[in-house]
Structures are given as structure tokens and as C-alpha cells.
Chain A
Amino acid sequence: MATPSMTSAPSTSAIMRTCLYVVLLVFCLFYLVPLYVMLVNSFKELDEIRGGGMLNLPENFTTAPWASAWSTAQIGVQPTGLKPYFLNSIYMVVPAVFISTMIGALNGYVLSKWTFAYHRLVFGLLLFSCFIPFQIVLIPMARVLGTFGLAGSTWGLVLVHTVYGIGFSTLFFRNYYEAFPTELIKAAQLDGAGFFQIFRRIMLPSSGPIIVVCVIWQFTNIWNDFLFGASFTDFDSQPITVALNNLVSSSTGVKEYNVHFAGAILAALPTLVVYIVSGRYFVRGLMAGSVKG
């Protein structure tokens, strides 16, 4: 009785395991093939792409499409390449991520350690802001930016993304700080530290994992945003997502697929780098923040 079950148990699990890996591999390919196509074709000459063989490796390896996408491609009316728009995105994403993370940390600190009447309600309303679709705020936001004189500028986008990011960053930090021992705050109070001293000297230095989570989250969302970028900027302040769209969907001349591929990869590169560099902290931080909270 015991013998067959003992021999069959590992073999079933081996079959199951093989099936599992095959399925996973298929899904993996499903996601990786487009990237592969983009990558190999970005190094081909246009003639070679027209000749078909999308999956083939380049015959005449060339980096010209990359150089073109970066600095000479026609975007809108100017042959500037993606470079100035890439910089626009950097100027937008760095302050927006920094400010929204800091405000989120401060909010989380107050909502978990300096609670006041109705703090739950305030937190609930902040959470609610995570679920408001972008489209709904377009017109009110346009009015606000107009009033502040920030319409059509990078700083306008920084403001929009900061405001939009506060909901999520507050959620992250509040849940993380909820598990943070309150006795530490009390001890610091007795030691004579004030509200901001406790925040800066005690809370922030212990917030590494959740800062990483928040930065990755905000960075990807803000970098990849198209709608706000397209709605609230003029030609000089467009982020790279909008510029890429202008590059790809320009209707005059020849479609330079190799340049488009290179440009798309360029636009996706920063988020890719952020994930690869700090991905494992991301998972760890997510667990630390959410499970204990």
C-alpha cells in the first residue's frame, strides 16, 4: 500500500512542476518577445526592417537609430530628438517624487503617532484620492494651474503629480509607521526632542524600506504619465511620454521604425533601471509596510 504512493508522489509533483514551469515560461516569453523585437529592430537599418524577419538578429548592426532618437529625430516641428524631453521628465519627476514622498512621510507620521479627533476620517479621505481617475480632475486642475500661473510649465506638472501622489505615499507611510513602536516617540519626547526633530532623527532614519517603495511607486507612475503631460504642458515643457508619442505618430515622411523602437526603449529605461536597482527592496518594503500594518 505504502510503496506505490511513495513512488508516485514525487513523479506527480515532477509532472506538475514541469507543467508549471512551461506555463510560466510561456507567459515570460509573452512579455519578453515585444521587448526583444524592439531591441533587435532598434539596431537594424530601415531597409532590413522593411524586408521582414522581425525576429531576426540585425545583419548590419547600427547604432544610428539610437543616436537619431536621442538627438536628431523630428519631434513636432523641431529636429531635437528626445533629449530635451527626457530632461523635462527628469526635472518633473525628481521634485515631484521627492516632495510627495516627504509629505507622505509627514502625513503618515502625524496620522499614526500624533493622532487627533477624526484622524481616521482624514486618512480615509486621503485614501479616497487614490481612487479618483485622472480624467475627472483634468478641468479643475487646469483651472487651478491657470490661477497659479503654472499652466504649460514643468512646475505645473510637479504640482499635479505631487498632489496626486500624496494619497498613495500617505498610505504607505501611515501603514509602515503604525507598526513603529510608539514608546520610541515617548522616549524622544522625554529626551526633549520636538515634533520635527523626532521625525528627522528617529522616524526618517528607520524608514528606508518604505521610502524605497514609495520612490519606486511614484517614480514609475509619474514618469509614465501621459495624460497630465499631454494636457498641462506646452511645447517646451512636454515630458518624454508625450514627445515619444509625437515622434511615433507624426504623419509626414517615412515611418522610421528603428528610431521609434530606440526612442521607446529610451523612454522606458529610467523606470527599468529603478526596478532593477531597488526591486528587491520594493518587495521587502511592501511586505513590511502592509502586513504588519
Chain B
Amino acid sequence: MSFLKIANVSKSFASTQVLNDINIDIAEGEFVVLVGPSGCGKSTLLNTIAGLENVTAGQIEIAGQDVTHTVPADRDIAMVFQSYALYPNMTVEKNITFALEMRGMSAEAQRKACAEVSEVLQISHLLKRKPGQLSGGQRQRVAMGRALVRNPQVFLFDEPLSNLDAKLRVDMRTEIKQLHAKLGTTIVYVTHDQIEAMTLANRIAVMNGGIIQQLGTPDDIYNRPANLFVASFMGSPSMNILDVTLAQKKTGVEVTLPNGDKFTLADSNIDLKSLKDGQVKMGIRPESIMEKAPASSKDFATLNQLIDVVEPSGSDTFVIFQLGETTMNARFAGDSTVKSGEKIKFHLDLRRVHFFDPETGDRL
């Protein structure tokens, strides 16, 4: 049963198609994150859900009501904007209660609702101030308060954390997740930050070029990316993509790496029989290339390579090396003692390689 239904939605501005036949069914209480590079149409999609932009084709339903042509005010949604969009001439309290006033709620009820929400967000002491006198984090809270106070069917978040500094962003991220757990309201959240997407979402929709590339749980998106775009967009550092040659052998599938090294895939979660011989793209995440591996395990392929660069980051050590023409990134433990210029053994976890069609980019 879908609560927010986006069916065949397309949107074009003059001759440019911004959204192309988008279909998403969102269940009540779900937290869905739209993620993608800038210009992928994610904010436009959010605006069409809000009713701030009209769709060119398709339909949007909220709680069983067709709202495709309903004005924003009557959709029973609330939105948090990237710039917070607080009314500069009003106090925090007035900002929060403005929507209630517009809906004709009594002054007494407004005050009560405002008090409750500011309690939850710990902004009670700020109510008499103007937005100009608040810090970035406080403004963010007020913006959320303004959305919360309406108790809407759906919350829309448009990159709400991208104007905050790094530490505050992480804190607010956790708070948003807690808030969702507490309220259980349906949320659609737009971000370009894939970590935010992974940590917050029940489901992620990865968008590019006005098309949903993949819609799935964070686990699906990360571990079973539907195509090359999703594979390389999600994850930091991004997945290593190599040109390899496949050949079916009796013992399994023989994979030839760009530098000429070969290994055989015997047992895998991929249907090996379906792979055709020839050139494909192979993807492997940095954390699937290891410094140490169980001895003589058939699940690992070993490469002898020279280390180019070592980048310690505290919790991890990133090791960059060349494989043929391709620059590879491996994530070792933070206490790794490898040095650049050393020749060491890299162990590829064969259970976690991905193959993609070189033409279409689709997962094989």
C-alpha cells in the first residue's frame, strides 16, 4: 500500500527534459532519500511533490488523494529548505506559527503547538529572537520546527544539512533519524551526500539525468548496484572499475586483469554460467582489496603490486596502486604499516566483485 505514489512523472523546461518517467511508491512512515549529482533532477522531483512546480506528465498521490494539480498549501506537506528560508522579519515563534495562522488556528492553539515543538527541538529559549540573530544550527532547528508544527502527512527535506559545518552536520543527521523514529512520519529527503543517504534512508533512489538509476535499500544500493553509475556514485572512495576479459573454463570463469594477471572465479553469488566471454567492466570496492587474507583461501586472488601512494586517515589507510592503466584504491586498516614504493600482496575478495556490461553499464 503506497502512501506517496509518484507515477510516470515527467517534467521538462522548454526543450530540456529534467525528469523522465519517474515511478516511486513510498509506504507510510518510510524514509526515502533521493540522491544524485547536481542537476540530476532530484530537487525538481521534490518540488513537484511539494507542488511548487507542475509536472509535464504523470500523477502524484498522497494518502490516496490525487494531488497532481493541487496547490502546495492543500497537499498537507511541509518542507525544510537548504537555505532554511526563515522569514527574516518575523520572530522565531512567528516563523513557526505562521502556517498555523494562515490556516486560521486560534492564537491560543498556535502558542501551545509552538511550545510543544520548540520543546522537542530545544529551541524554547530562542522564540523571541529574529532569524538573523541565530547560528546556522539554530536556524536549522527553527526550520525543522516550522515543518513539524504542522504535523503534515509528508515531510520534504531539500539538502537541509549542506549549509552546516561538518561536525554539526553529523549531529543533526543523527537527530533527524531520531526524530523520524519518534514521529514515524513519511519523509522524502534530497541530498547529494551519499553518506547522508546511506545512514538515513529506509530506501534510496539514486538519480542521474532525470532517471531513477536504482531504487532500493541502502544494502541493495551498496552491495548490489544496478549499474556502473550507481556503483561509482555510492561509496567513498568510489568503487574501482577495471576493464577485464572473461572466459568460461571448466573450473569456472577465468578473469584477465588489465595487467595480464588471471584468476578463476569458481563460486560466487553471481550466476557465473550467464556470463559471456569477452570484455566487461569489473567493479571492486576499496574495502574488498585487503592487506591480509586467510592463507590459501580460494575466495581471494592475490596481486603483487607496487604501492604508489599511502594516505592514512586515522581509522583507515588508503593505498593507491596501478593495475595496468587503472588507478586502484584499497582500504587497509588504520594501523597498517605499508609504505609507498613497497611491493606488497593485495588480496581481492572474489565474493565481492561486480560485473557490468561495458556498453549499457548494467549489472551482469
Contacts and interface: CB of A to CB of B under 8 A. Distances in A.
A192 B83 CA distance: 19
Nearest to B87: A202
A201 B99 CA distance: 12
Contact of A192 (B47, B79, B81, B99): B99
A188 B87 contact: yes
A146 B63 CA distance: 61
A186 interface: yes
A190 interface: yes
A201 B94 CA distance: 11
A100 B346 CA distance: 76
B73 interface: yes
A105 to B, nearest CB: 15
A181 B86 CA distance: 10
A272 to B, nearest CB: 31
Contact of B79 (A184, A190, A206): A190
A189 B83 contact: no
B83 A190 contact: no
Given A192-B73, A202-B87, A206-B88, A187 B79 contact: yes
Contacts of A197: 102
Nearest to A182: B85
Contact of B99 (A181, A191, A206): A191
B52 interface: yes
For B87, B90, B103, the residue with the greatest tally of chain A CB atoms inside 10 Å of its CB is: B87
A205 B89 CA distance: 6
B222 interface: no
A184 B131 CA distance: 13
A187 B102 contact: no
B103 A183 contact: no
Nearest to A203: B89
Contacts of B78: 190
A181 B83 contact: yes
A165 to B, nearest CB: 26
B83 A202 contact: no
A186 B81 contact: yes
Contacts of A193: 73, 98, 102
A189 B52 contact: yes
Contacts of A188: 87, 98
Contact of B73 (A191, A201, A206): A191
B89 A181 contact: no
Nearest to A185: B85
A193 B73 CA distance: 8
A200 B24 CA distance: 38
A186 B77 CA distance: 12
B85 A187 contact: yes
Contacts of A187: 79, 81, 85, 87, 146
B98 A190 contact: no
B96 to A, nearest CB: 10
B52 A184 contact: no
Contacts of B81: 183, 186-187
A183 B82 contact: yes
A181 B146 CA distance: 18
B60 to A, nearest CB: 15
A206 B72 contact: no
Interface in B100-149: 102-103, 146
B50 interface: yes
Interface string B61-94: 0000000000111000111011101011110000
For A191, A192, A202, the residue with the greatest tally of chain B CB atoms inside 10 Å of its CB is: A191
A37 to B, nearest CB: 47
Contacts of B73: 189-193
A109 to B, nearest CB: 15
Contacts of B71: 189
A206 B132 CA distance: 13
A202 B94 CA distance: 12
Contacts of A201: 87, 98
A193 B99 CA distance: 8
Contacts of A206: 88-89
Interface in A102-157: none
Interface in A177-225: 181, 183-184, 186-193, 197, 201-202, 205-206
A186 B98 contact: no
Given A190-B50, A190-B78, A192-B103, A183 B85 contact: yes
The 5 closest A-B CB pairs, nearest first, are A191-B99, A192-B102, A205-B89, A192-B73, A187-B85
16 contacts: A181-B85, A183-B83, A184-B85, A186-B47, A188-B87, A189-B73, A190-B72, A190-B73, A190-B77, A191-B73, A192-B99, A192-B102, A193-B73, A197-B102, A205-B89, A206-B88
Given A183-B81, A189-B73, A193-B98, 8 more contacts: A183-B82, A183-B85, A186-B47, A187-B85, A190-B72, A192-B103, A202-B87, A206-B89
Interface of B: 47, 50, 52, 71-73, 77-79, 81-83, 85, 87-90, 98-99, 102-103, 146
